[in-house]
């Protein structure tokens, strides 16, 4: 391999757990997720450039299963797509603050 390689040499047996922790720390320390929203303009060429994704409450009953993961992945695709096409995409998470307590009382 050439000595003038501008790219770092990668380990043949990387420690993926360590790499993931390093990347998560970088994202956390630099507020990357928040910046992905805030660095996009709410207006683009005088038009609304916002997309708000309202996610429902987490599943309150039963043990987690594959169906919970699947719906989470599918919902995530919509928000990621809007971000990728340049929209300011905010994610708002809802909580079932009235439904479940009322159900439990009845």
One-character DSSP codes across the chain: --TT-SSPPPPSS--HHHHHHHHHHHHHHTTHHHHHHHTS-SEETTEE-EEEEEE-PPP-SS---HHHHHHHHHHHHHHHHHHHTT-EEEEEE---SSHHHHHHH-
* Structural domain boundaries, residue 77: 16-105
Whether residue 2 is contained in a domain is answered as: no
Whether residue 10 is contained in a domain is answered as: no
Structural domain total, the chain: 1
> Residue 58: is its pLDDT beyond 80?
no
Q: Which residues contact 76 (CB under 8 A, 6 or more apart)?
A: none
Indicate the average pLDDT of the chain: 83
Model-level pTM greater than 0.75?
no
Whether residue 89 is contained in a domain is answered as: yes
Whether residue 66 is contained in a domain is answered as: yes
Mean pLDDT of 88-97: 79
């Amino acid at each position: 391999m050439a000595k003038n390689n501008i790219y770092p040499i990668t380990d043949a047996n990387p420690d993926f757990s360590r790499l993931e922790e390093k990347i998560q720390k970088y994202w956390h320390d630099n507020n990357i997720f928040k910046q992905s929203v805030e660095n996009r303009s709410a207006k683009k060429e005088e038009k609304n450039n916002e997309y708000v994704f309202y996610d429902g409450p987490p599943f309150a009953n039963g043990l987690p299963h594959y169906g919970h993961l699947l719906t989470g992945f599918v919902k995530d695709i919509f928000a990621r797509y809007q971000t990728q096409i340049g929209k300011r995409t905010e994610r708002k998470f809802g909580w079932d603050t009235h439904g479940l307590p009322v159900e439990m009382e009845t």
